Chains A and B, each alone.
Chain A
Amino acid sequence: MAENIVLQMKNIHKSFPGVRALQGVDFTLRKGEVHALMGENGAGKSTLIKVLTGVYSKDEGQISIEGKEVAIHSPQEAQKNGVSTVYQEITLCPNLSVAENMYIGRLENICQNWKKMNTDADKILQSLDIPAKATQQLSTCSLAVQQMVAIARAVDTDCKVLILDEPTSSLDEQEVEKLFKLMRDLKGRGVGIVFVTHFLDQVYEICDRITVMRDGQLVGEYEIEKLPRVQLVSKMLGKELDDLSDIQGEYSTYEPKEGEAPVFEAEELHSDAGIKPFNFHIKKGEVNGFTGLLGSGRSESVRAIFGADRILGGRVKMNGKPVKIRKPIDAMKNGIAYLPEDRKRDGIVGDLSVRDNILLAQQVLRGFLKPFSKGEADKIADEYIKLLSVKTASADTPIKSLSGGNQQKVILARWLLTHPEYLILDEPTRGIDVGTKVDIQKLVLKLASEGMSVTFISSELDEMLRTCSRLVVMRDGRMVGELSGQDLNQNKVMNTIAGGDK
């Protein structure tokens, strides 16, 4: 068995001031296995991976690769030792070509044979079935393809250990399937794969073994057959989780009054982001969802509602009165809030403190000449940090140093502070842990029961089925169906998305 082990980490310790991020964690990876590393945000997964890839130096412990102890001080050294990583956030250069991105940092000679590089890159792309050309500029590829290029780059180096840190969070199902095929290929070649993800389905589809971490400590290593889902979740959370599948029943639904106009109503609305004119309305206290494959126009539709893209036409009414929404500020003044899909690009203002990030939208609504006083700002920030239990050292901490889930809570706090009538959440649970996911879903239902209208978008269908009472289905920039009541089930939604009546 010892020969089978490609990577062994023993008794790893790592502390940051005030936080013991890793406490005596062991991790073992065998040849040709897909090993899931599971845990809530802040459990220490990222830290463990960063120690392994040399981003952080460990305080204590050993790392050995194929039986030899190694000291890894930088990502380059990790790569030399056969450890490649693909991160959740794409870390490529959008203004370079695909091939350049694949080879950047790995060119050994000063002279580079560009032609050969391009043909090589094309070969790899083809063998992995990635729909991109070597000479294409990376930024012209979709987010999903960019992610796959990052994987291609990692795979191409002679790698023994491949770390995939949330690689699937921006991929749709077909692309995930392709990625899995690729992972199985690599597995067959004897590569050990560490797979970090929040998608339980994917874990059970592809992984052989699971290591669970919690609060910087190892909970245990399990073979996949021996650990049913419910147990996995309870191990991650450290408590028995009440049944995830039925949270809708916990909250009373808001009863709309007779003859009440919809909170928001759009006719023939369309923007320059490639969606066809659509009609849409949402009633007070309703939770609805937009679903469809990646790129189907579900995000673009809600962006059009919020005025985030250039609006090309359409009529919009709020509570029955016609309003004009051309810019985000118009939407905000009309009581619409929008939590964007791409948290890093559109949501957070990285260097600003948690406090400023919470206050930003409300401050803009109050206007240029009415800044919050220091006292008010502190009070509000503390209140919302507590309300959403944001884990942060202080309100002064820059938001970029928070974990993904906590960043998302801050952005959520920002919009809740504006007390919107209509809240749009675009992928609020992407890349965040199970516990927070449930918290957010519960919050959505609670807000709706108090009369807020919510649009909820998620790549995870069961999450939407749990929270939404009506689903708008999109395909190729068009609304192709609307499902509610009895029709709200996995099969029906899938069929509508696929466009078949069968």
Chain B
Amino acid sequence: MENNHAKQSKGSSFFADLTRNQLFIPMAALLLLLVFNLIMDPGFFKITLGYNSAGHPVLSGFLITILDYGSELAILAIGMTLVTAATGGQDISVGAAIAISGSVLLRMLCGTNTRPETLVMPVLLAFVITCVVAMLFGAFNGTLVAVFGIQPMIATLILYTAGRSIAAWVNNNELPIISEPSFAYYGGFIPGCPIPTPFFIAVLCVAVIALVLKFTTLRLYTQAVGINEYSAKLNGLNPVFIKILSFVILGLCVAVVGLIKVSRFSSINYSVIAKDIEMDAILAVALGGNALSGGKFNMTASIIGAYVIQCLTTTLYKFDVQADALPAYKAVVVIALVVLSAPIVREKLAALMPKSGSREVAK
């Protein structure tokens, strides 16, 4: 009988189900932004095929920018989602950690010479070392949070403060420049392919995490620890390990973004690189409708959220909002989006829908 009831309510509460779906808000926001741009200036959607200085074909346009820079955020959102879910807090040292990763990568590639003719070691090897370093910094954050029970934002405040200094110190405060053109492929374009490489890297990362979530129990473990640590422990899980693991995975994401960022300029600016990127990454998670207090998470929603945030940033740039004023405009939009995606508002919205059978279960 209950089945019958469920079937009946399915049709009438289609809209309610739609608004209740976690992907609804980020998708709706994306649609809204795109429609806004369409009305204001369809030029937003223009994509042109041109040639870069090296004579290779490259696509350009606002949508390509979103695809390019949104991919960095999407990669970070993967790690940030896991950290948020497991610890109920966020890592605010992501930008600083990217600076460290980038700096380490350059140091590995250049050695002591800041203007090397040839690279000291293969990029792959340097990248692996960078990953290890970034994961160690992740483990450091994770240990503060999981072992010493410090609030994640406070724990990562340490690295947030110190990270850029550490990054500068790694290269003796010098600014290495890599002249090897192939190094620019990671943050730019692979010759012959007009789509920006970061997008492919993001696709690869998303594929990896999708496989990990499918073929391991990472999702269940992370959620269980995030929702009820005590209970997780009595079910044989090790909450300390799971939390540290989430920070280590974020560390890996940071290393990947570090590679992209450094590759974009073949150099580094310690105080500017990836500045405030942690806020966008956290917003991506929030916009995806994931509770910032941890627990259940939806990875797809976070990743879409990342591109939405980038879409917003790009839209604002397009309308010539000054770089200084950008955060203020962004904040307004973000407040609206986050409030809309709050469970409380979603319940209310769903209740407004005609004949919406709310799915509340009676005691």
Please list the residues of chain A having a beta carbon within 8 angstroms of any beta carbon in chain B: 16-19, 21, 42, 46-47, 306, 308, 327-329, 332, 338, 340, 345-352, 356, 359-361, 363-365, 367-371, 392-393, 397, 401-403, 414
Contact between B233 and A328, CB atoms less than 8 A apart: yes
Return chain A residues, CB-CB under 8 Å to B238. Answer: 327, 329
A340 CA to B5 CA in the complex, in Å?
36
Contact between A350 and B227, CB atoms less than 8 A apart: yes
Chain B: interface residue total (CB-CB under 8 A)? 33
Return chain A residues, CB-CB under 8 Å to B224. Answer: 349, 352, 356, 360
Once A17-B9, A17-B358, A352-B224 are accepted as A-B contacts, the answer to whether A328 and B231 lie under 8 Å apart by CB is: no
Closest B residue to A369 by beta carbon equals B216
Known pairs A329-B238, A348-B231, A352-B224; list 19 more (Cβ under 8 Å).
Answer: A16-B360, A17-B9, A327-B238, A328-B236, A332-B235, A345-B231, A351-B295, A356-B223, A356-B224, A360-B224, A364-B217, A367-B217, A369-B217, A370-B217, A371-B215, A393-B2, A401-B361, A403-B363, A414-B235
Return chain A residues, CB-CB under 8 Å to B235. Answer: 328, 332, 360-361, 364, 414
Return chain B residues, CB-CB under 8 Å to A401. Answer: 360-361, 363
Closest beta carbon of chain A to B225's beta carbon, Å:
9
Contact between A17 and B359, CB atoms less than 8 A apart: yes
Contact between A18 and B236, CB atoms less than 8 A apart: no
Please count the residue pairs between chain A and chain B whose beta carbons lie under 8 angstroms apart in the complex. Answer: 107
Task: Select which of B9, B220, B234, B357 is within 8 A of A308 by beta carbon.
Answer: B234
Flag whether B36 is at the interface (Cβ < 8 A): no
Contact between A17 and B236, CB atoms less than 8 A apart: no
Once A17-B360, A346-B230, A368-B221 are accepted as A-B contacts, the answer to whether A352 and B296 lie under 8 Å apart by CB is: yes
Contact between B231 and A371, CB atoms less than 8 A apart: no
A286 CA to B236 CA in the complex, in Å?
25
A228 CA to B232 CA in the complex, in Å?
44
A329 CA to B236 CA in the complex, in Å?
4
Return chain B residues, CB-CB under 8 Å to A327. Answer: 236, 238
Closest B residue to A411 by beta carbon equals B231
Closest beta carbon of chain A to B233's beta carbon, Å:
6
Contact between B2 and A368, CB atoms less than 8 A apart: no
Contact between A371 and B217, CB atoms less than 8 A apart: yes
Task: Select which of A19, A363, A414 is within 8 A of B362 by beta carbon.
Answer: A19
Contact between B361 and A361, CB atoms less than 8 A apart: no
Q: Could you mark each residue 321-363 of chain B with 1 if its beta carbon is under 8 Å from any beta carbon of chain A, else 0? A: 0000000000000000000000000000000000001111111
Return chain B residues, CB-CB under 8 Å to A363. Answer: 217, 220
Flag whether B237 is at the interface (Cβ < 8 A): yes
A418 CA to B151 CA in the complex, in Å?
35
Closest A residue to B232 by beta carbon equals A349
Contact between A18 and B234, CB atoms less than 8 A apart: no
A365 CA to B2 CA in the complex, in Å?
34
Contact between B231 and A351, CB atoms less than 8 A apart: no
Contact between A397 and B221, CB atoms less than 8 A apart: no
Flag whether B113 is at the interface (Cβ < 8 A): no
Flag whether B228 is at the interface (Cβ < 8 A): yes
Contact between B217 and A351, CB atoms less than 8 A apart: no
* Contact residues, B265-286 vs A (CB, 8 A): none
Task: Select which of A42, A46, A349, A361 is within 8 A of B236 by beta carbon.
Answer: A361
Closest beta carbon of chain A to B68's beta carbon, Å:
34
Top 8 closest pairs, chain A to chain B, by CB: A16-B362, A329-B236, A19-B362, A364-B236, A401-B361, A17-B357, A21-B362, A371-B217
Contact between A47 and B220, CB atoms less than 8 A apart: no
Return chain A residues, CB-CB under 8 Å to B296. Answer: 351-352
Please list the residues of chain B having a beta carbon within 8 angstroms of any beta carbon in chain A: 2, 5-6, 9, 214-218, 220-221, 223-224, 227-228, 230-238, 295-296, 357-363
Return chain B residues, CB-CB under 8 Å to A352. Answer: 220, 223-224, 227, 296
Contact between B2 and A18, CB atoms less than 8 A apart: yes
A47 CA to B218 CA in the complex, in Å?
37
Return chain A residues, CB-CB under 8 Å to B6. Answer: 18
Return chain B residues, CB-CB under 8 Å to A364. Answer: 217, 221, 235-237
User: 23 A-B Cβ contacts within 8 A?
Assistant: A18-B2, A18-B5, A18-B357, A21-B363, A46-B363, A47-B363, A328-B233, A328-B234, A340-B231, A351-B223, A351-B227, A352-B223, A352-B224, A360-B220, A361-B235, A363-B217, A364-B237, A365-B236, A369-B217, A371-B214, A371-B216, A393-B361, A403-B363
Return chain B residues, CB-CB under 8 Å to A308. Answer: 233-234
Closest A residue to B233 by beta carbon equals A328
Closest beta carbon of chain B to A57's beta carbon, Å:
13
Return chain B residues, CB-CB under 8 Å to A371. Answer: 214-217, 220
Closest B residue to A14 by beta carbon equals B362
A360 CA to B361 CA in the complex, in Å?
23
Return chain A residues, CB-CB under 8 Å to B295. Answer: 351
A321 CA to B310 CA in the complex, in Å?
61
Closest A residue to B5 by beta carbon equals A18
A313 CA to B221 CA in the complex, in Å?
30
Closest B residue to A345 by beta carbon equals B230
A401 CA to B214 CA in the complex, in Å?
27
Return chain A residues, CB-CB under 8 Å to B216. Answer: 368-369, 371
Task: Select which of B215, B231, B236, B358 is within 8 A of A332 by beta carbon.
Answer: B236
Return chain A residues, CB-CB under 8 Å to B360. Answer: 16-17, 401
A360 CA to B6 CA in the complex, in Å?
27
Contact between A350 and B233, CB atoms less than 8 A apart: no
Contact between A340 and B363, CB atoms less than 8 A apart: no
Once A348-B228, A350-B228, A352-B224 are accepted as A-B contacts, the answer to whether A340 and B234 lie under 8 Å apart by CB is: yes
A429 CA to B6 CA in the complex, in Å?
32
Closest beta carbon of chain A to B348's beta carbon, Å:
15
Contact between A47 and B236, CB atoms less than 8 A apart: no
Return chain B residues, CB-CB under 8 Å to A16. Answer: 360-362
Best-surrounded residue of B223, B224, B357 (most CB of chain A within 10 A): B224
Best-surrounded residue of A16, A21, A349 (most CB of chain B within 10 A): A349
Return chain B residues, CB-CB under 8 Å to A392. Answer: 361
Return chain A residues, CB-CB under 8 Å to B223. Answer: 349, 351-352, 356
Closest beta carbon of chain B to A343's beta carbon, Å:
9
